[in-house]
Amino acid sequence: MLCCICQEREATVHLTQIAGEKMQKVDLCEECAKAKGVNDPAAFSLADLLLGLGASQEVEKASGRKEAPCPSCGFTHADFKKTGRFGCPVCYEHFSDGLATLLRSMHKGVRHVGKVPKRFKQLKKALDVSDQLKTLQRKLEKAIHEERFERAAELRDEIKSLTGRTEGVEAP
Amino acid sequence: MTKVALQEFLTPPAEMARRRGPQDEIVLSSRVRLARNLEGCPFPGTAKKEQRQKVLGTMLPAVESLKLMQNGFSTAMDALTALDKTILVERHLISREHAARNVGSGLVLNKDESVCVMINEEDHLRMQALLPGFQIKQAWKLIDGVDTELEKSLDYAFSPVFGFLTACPTNLGTAIRVSAMLHLPGLVLSEQIEPIIQSVNKLGLAVRGLYGEGTEALGNIFQVSNQMTLGEAETSIAERLEKVVKQIIEHEENARGTLLERSPKTVYNHIGRAYGVLSNAHSISSKESMNLLSFLRLGLELGHFPGVDRSVVDELFVQTQPAHLQRMHTGRLSGEERDLLRADMLRQQLRNMSRPVMQAPPGQADDSAEKTN
Ligand SMILES: [Zn+2]
Ligand SMILES: [Zn+2]
């Protein structure tokens, strides 16, 4: 049996943890068990092991503490906590609240930069525009509040030209 | 698709070892891997057997029909023997995790094994381009092309915010893993490897021994790869890794130069002993042979074995691994039996290789190579 962390070495440390009614078996090699400081098998979760300590708290936040399982695959945040993996693509939407905190701890950013499949290119543009719109709207309110009307007029024009561009493109 | 057994399809190690790439005296290979999933399907880890089989049924024909896969090899994982799978792992074509998969998982390889697609590993699709030497950009271009082609017939799970959706959030976004396999005996011998690893880690890149456990790197072979996948474009990730690899190459070259200048005897000692043991042992473990082959390779690079082609050693790196040894013998070998056979093979393969010439000026190694041939 392979270690569930490195997937490379033979697992020699076998732990069973009981979460709710489910029994979760964890098999680790000596190295990984030591590296993760697994001497109190009752007090760790797989998500912590795989994603770094504190991950499961983030996940708990990420799931908004809602007990509702993913409508598409039935995955719960407890499942994520145990496996460090999501069940299906819809999980990302379902558990999206607070997911950013978790992602920030392991990635360079929290928004995708890079390749976009062809059929999403339109959608991506629309999303970028809607982001820009939100920022402009905020600036506009601030300008009006500060009675900087010239600036407000400029911003209004910018918004108008942007909304013109989004016509015909469905927002996500 | 070719209809032959896997082991007939695979390029023989001798031929494989003769494939050269830029700067392959230090960079053994470059690899770019992308993960993709299908919209509306649970990830392989959650999917039921029937769901995995359905995904495999969609994926296999899509991948097989790629132009690049003409005369390639395609199989369901349960059609392979345990030995076949380990051979694929030893060739770095599939992950150990994928080797453990059976029903509902699959594999497609192109003719020269530069592109390998795993179906239903941790994600629905894991595709990699693997090229000899320092060719990160080329590997990216190759796999980018495969991905763009597949995208035409497959509906990928993608979010404009999170990018490509993967089973593990550590792969989210670009879902790219760029890596290079490096041979760094100079940095290991001069004890500079640890600080180098630490500074590379600080740049958000992972370094690990390719064989062996924990920090131990058998054969002085290390793999450098990116860890972060979200918030940075593929090309930028690849360029960053390329830059770091360039620096490591420079450090390795400097380390070799300094070692030869300050303590040539240490270097000669390692090379000489490696030659002595490898060409005379009657029992040798895979671990020991890996470590010694590394120094034999270094000796070749430094011109101490005039007339010997480096592919001799590179072939042995592959051939001495357990599954590759096993495949030449019927009947299951025990560990001790393998050690005997490994030593037999090494003595046989190295029988025409003369003792290292330690005084040969490195610059003239090529000339003498032609004469002795
Ligand atoms: Zn492990
Ligand atoms: Zn789900």
ipTM: 0.83
CA distances to A53, B276, B316, B355 from B273, rounded to whole Å, are 45, 5, 17, 10
Q: Which domains does chain B have, with CATH numbers?
A: 6-257 (3.30.590.10), 263-349 (no CATH)
A52, pLDDT greater than 50 = yes
Residue A96 is predicted with a pLDDT of 83
Contacts of B169 in chain A (CB under 8 A): 51, 86, 99, 102-103, 106
A80, pLDDT greater than 80 = yes
Contacts of B362 (CB under 8 A, 6+ apart): B302, B303
Place A53 in a pLDDT band, splitting at 50, 70 and 90: very low
CA distances to A98, B109, B171, B172 from B98, rounded to whole Å, are 32, 14, 17, 20
How far apart CA B234 and CA B140 sit, in angstroms, is 8
How far apart CA A88 and CA A106 sit, in angstroms, is 20
Secondary structure (3-state) at A58: helix
Residue B108 is predicted with a pLDDT of 97
pTM recorded for the entire structure: 0.79
Residue from B295, B320, B130 nearest B221 by CA: B295
pLDDT tens digit string along A149-172? 888 888 888 888 777 654 444 443
Contacts of A172 in chain B (CB under 8 A): 160
pLDDT tens digit string along B336-346? 999 999 999 99
Give DSSP secondary structure letters for B38-73.
BTTS--TTTS-HHHHHHHHHHHHHHHHTSGGGTT-E
Least Cα separation, residue B147 to chain A (angstroms): 9
Give DSSP secondary structure letters for B306-345.
TT--THHHHHHHHHTSHHHHHTTSSSPPPHHHHHHHHHHH
Residue A19 is predicted with a pLDDT of 44
> Under an 8 A CB cutoff, do B231 and A109 touch?
yes
Residue B310 is predicted with a pLDDT of 92
Contact B139, B35 (CB under 8 A): no
CA distances to A29, B40, B51, B124, B311 from B103, rounded to whole Å, are 26, 21, 11, 14, 37
How far apart CA A132 and CA A100 sit, in angstroms, is 20
Burial level of B359, CB count in 10 A (0-12/13-18/19+)?
A: exposed
Place A60 in a pLDDT band, splitting at 50, 70 and 90: low
**Higher per-residue pLDDT: A8 or B45:** B45
Alpha-carbon Rg for chain A, nearest whole angstrom, is 23
Most confident of A39-43, A69-73, B213-217: A69-73
> Under an 8 A CB cutoff, do B122 and A85 touch?
yes
A73 → closest Cβ in B46, B144, B155: B46
**Higher per-residue pLDDT: B361 or A57:** A57
Distance A5 CA to ligand 1 centre (A): 5
Residue A153 is predicted with a pLDDT of 87
A88 → closest Cβ in B41, B204, B214: B41
Contacts of B95 in chain A (CB under 8 A): 7
How crowded is the C-beta side of A109, counted as CA atoms within 13 Å? 14
Helix (H) or strand (E) holding B286: helix B286-301
B163 → closest Cβ in A8, A112, A119: A112
In eight-state DSSP terms, residue A19 is E
The tokens for A52 are 């770094």
CA distances to B185, B321, B342 from B316, rounded to whole Å, are 17, 8, 10
Residue type, A38: V
In eight-state DSSP terms, residue A68 is P
Place A33 in a pLDDT band, splitting at 50, 70 and 90: confident
Mean pLDDT of the A119-145 span: 78
Inform me whether the C-beta atom of residue A120 falls under 8 Å from chain B C-beta atoms: yes
A31, pLDDT greater than 90 = no
Which of A27, A107, A119 to mutate against chain B (most B CBs within 10 Å)? A107
Strands (E), chain A: 13-19, 22-28
The total of other beta-carbon atoms located within 10 Å of residue B56's CB is 20
How far apart CA A124 and CA B162 sit, in angstroms, is 11
The tokens for A150 are 């010239």
Q: Residues for chain B: how many in total?
A: 373
pLDDT in tens, chain B (373 residues): 777 899 899 999 989 899 999 999 999 999 999 999 999 999 999 999 999 999 999 999 999 999 999 999 999 999 999 999 999 999 999 998 899 999 999 999 999 999 999 999 999 999 999 999 999 999 999 999 999 999 999 999 999 899 999 999 999 999 999 999 999 999 999 999 999 999 999 898 999 887 655 556 889 999 999 999 999 999 999 999 999 999 999 999 999 999 999 999 999 999 999 999 999 999 999 999 999 999 999 999 999 999 999 999 999 999 999 899 998 887 788 889 999 999 999 999 999 899 999 874 555 444 444 444 4
CA end-to-end span of chain B, whole Å?
40
Burial level of A61, CB count in 10 A (0-12/13-18/19+)?
A: middle
